Chain A
Amino acid sequence: MAAMARGERAGLARLIALYGTGIRRYAAQMLSVRSEAEVVAQEVFLRVWTRAHSYDPDKGAVSSWLYRITVNLCIDHNRRCGFRRFVGLDAAPEFEDEMPGVEAQLDGRQRLALAHAAIKALPARQRQAILLKVAGALSTVEIAEALGTSAGATEQLLIRARAALRAHMDLEDG
């Protein structure tokens, strides 16, 4: 972060190598239009570059700061897309195979569809918490910092999210 604040682009490249994958995975699950994940990930790192000087290590880890920006950008992006769809500027969200049909008999595809449907059915806060955990591989404290809550509240969100996901997957399995 210090290197980035000094204007060294190598610092940004290192940050992308470290967190790019997780941020893209998180965005892909949080966005209503999954294919926009790459665009949002780019936006995250451009914002990190312009605000590198404002990062305060005393307020939390770099990962928390990065994911906090990601969480907010995803919310903004969904809101913008929703409005654009409402006024007819954008097409409806991509078709997602939430109910595995004949074509989704293939196990891998079915599993993925189940997981997506289960995650999508979670309340927003639980979805954010569990995705920061599984996609971003953040610790509970880091998630709490990213979401602006306490570690205890985050643990509760994670427990509820896991329980809901397990129940959803068991139910779908019949």
Chain B
Amino acid sequence: MTDRQTVKQDGSDMSDGEFDRQLGALLSTPGDADTAILSRAVLSQLAKNSTSASAPLGAVLSEPLPWGAGFLGLLLIGGVFGYLGSTWIAGDGLLTLLTLGDPLALLGGF
């Protein structure tokens, strides 16, 4: 009762529910109700995504040189800016040396 003749001949008399049911049956293909493959594919994607999300943390241990070089570069940039900033703000006078002297003395300087 799901063939085209039924749709044609009974089309006007057929209830909306019956029409929808027949159309749905027509559009379904054998095996498309099986969601196992879809489920497996989605869960695999999730597993892959969660693995790749934690990868950067692991990269610090597996490839420390580029990360170390990056941090060293940032430290150097910070040092240069700090030096320029301190001389620009306070100048090169005795007062500046005294100001910097105290904290540097704690670190073993002067």
Write out the residue numbers on chain B whose beta carbons fall within 8 Å of the beta carbon of A41: 38
B residues near A (Cβ < 8 Å) are 3-4, 7-8, 11-12, 16, 19-21, 23-24, 26-28, 32-33, 35, 37-39, 41-43, 45-46, 49
Residue of B with least CB distance to A110: B4
Our pick among A20, A115, A130 for the contact of B26 (Cβ within 8 Å) is: A115
Q: Is the CB of A158 within 8 A of B16?
A: yes
Q: Establish whether residues B42 and A42, one from each chain, have CB atoms under 8 Å apart when the complex forms.
A: yes
CB neighbours of B35 from chain A (8 A): 16-17, 20-21
B43/A29 in contact, CB under 8 A: no
On chain A, the number of residues with a Cβ less than 8 Å from chain B's Cβ atoms is 35
Residue A124 lies at the interface, judged by CB distance under 8 Å to chain B: no
- What's the dominant secondary structure at chain A's contact region? helix
**A21 and B4 contacting across the interface, CB-CB below 8 Å:** no
21 contacts between A and B (CB under 8 A): A12-B42, A12-B46, A13-B39, A13-B43, A16-B42, A20-B35, A25-B28, A28-B27, A45-B42, A46-B45, A107-B4, A110-B4, A130-B20, A130-B23, A133-B20, A134-B20, A166-B7, A169-B4, A170-B11, A173-B4, A173-B8
Query: Do the beta carbons of B39 and A134 come within 8 Å of each other?
Result: no
Which residues of A pack against B, CB within 8 Å? 9, 12-13, 16-17, 20-21, 24-25, 28-29, 38, 41-42, 45-46, 49, 107, 110-112, 114-115, 130, 133-135, 137, 158, 162, 165-166, 169-170, 173
Extra contacts, 15 of them, besides A17-B35, A133-B20, A134-B21 (Cβ < 8 A), are A12-B43, A12-B46, A16-B39, A16-B42, A25-B28, A42-B41, A45-B38, A49-B46, A107-B4, A115-B23, A130-B20, A134-B24, A137-B24, A166-B11, A169-B4
**Pair A9/B27 contact, Cβ less than 8 Å:** no
Q: How far is the CB of A113 from chain B (nearest CB, A)?
A: 10
In the complex, the chain A residue whose C-beta lies closest to that of B12 is A166
Docked CA distance A107–B2 (Å): 11
Q: When A16-B38, A107-B3 are in contact, do A162 and B26 touch as well, CB less than 8 Å?
A: no
A107 to B23 CA separation, bound complex (whole angstroms) = 15
